[in-house]
Amino acid sequence: MIKAIKAIYHFYAEGFRNMTWGRTLWWLILLKVIILFVVLRGFFFKPTLAGKSEKERIEYVGNQLVTKQ
């Protein structure tokens, strides 16, 4: 079992070591994913409960649960 894991690791390690354009493409993919998460978080997942007191949070969540059903 350990031999198989080592073989798989070496297979991928050698593959990534010998890449030329692949390494650049992986950096671009990583950059794109980070930018997408930042944009999505900034525009679509705004913190609606920020700056509210505990009582206001309870009322807001209760109203959202009642109106969704």
CB 41 within 8 A of CB 53: no
For residue 16, give every residue at least 6 positions away whose Cβ sits within 8 Å of its Cβ, in sequence order, or none.
22, 23
Backbone φ and ψ for 45, nearest 5 degrees, come out as: -120, 55
Average pLDDT over residues 14-19: 82
Selected residue with higher pLDDT from 37 and 68 = 37
Q: What is the pTM of this model?
A: 0.45
Tokens of residue 21, six digits: 């354009």
Give the tens place of pLDDT for each residue, 19-54.
Answer: 888 778 888 999 999 999 888 887 777 778 888 899
CB 30 within 8 A of CB 23: no
The CA dihedral of 31, 44, 50, 63, to the nearest 10 degrees, is -150
